[in-house]
Amino acid sequence: MNKELLMQSARQMKERAYVPYSKFPVGAAILLADGSVINGVNVENVSLGATNCAERTAIFTAVASGYKKGDFRAIAVAGDTKDFLPPCSICRQVLAEFCLPDMPVYLTNDKNDILELTLKELLPYAFTDLEM
């Protein structure tokens, strides 16, 4: 699957986000080793701390579906922002737990441009199990 199709999947998911407080929908699409795509949206909660980002929703759904560390091949993140929308720091660290450092991370903006980074570029000093 190319980055445009993966990003299109992330963009379409934004409509399913549960964002009654921020009104800031985010969609994510993760490409897996077997070619499957699992999507996620941000799901807010009035307590804020219980809010879950789209990226983590997609990763956790993949894990609950039986995918394992190393099965993740790319992620696309879409929001309605002027600049490129990167994952938050918590999501970056969760990505580092399940994905290889050279995995592509695709970000978009409100002009539908796509920025391609690697996970290592997004999170150069990640905590990993190799460092313990």
pLDDT in tens, the chain (132 residues): 899 999 999 999 999 999 999 999 999 999 999 999 999 999 999 998 899 999 999 999 999 999 999 999 999 999 999 999 999 999 999 999 999 999 999 999 999 999 999 999 999 988 877 544
What is the value of pTM for the model shown? 0.93
Residue ranges with strand state E in 22-122: 26-32, 37-41, 72-79, 104-108, 114-118
Topology classification of domain 3-131: Cytidine Deaminase; domain 2 (3.40.140)
Q: Is 83 exposed, middle or buried (0-12, 13-18, 19+ CB in 10 A)?
A: exposed
Q: Where are the domains of the chain?
A: 3-131
Catalytic residue annotation: 55
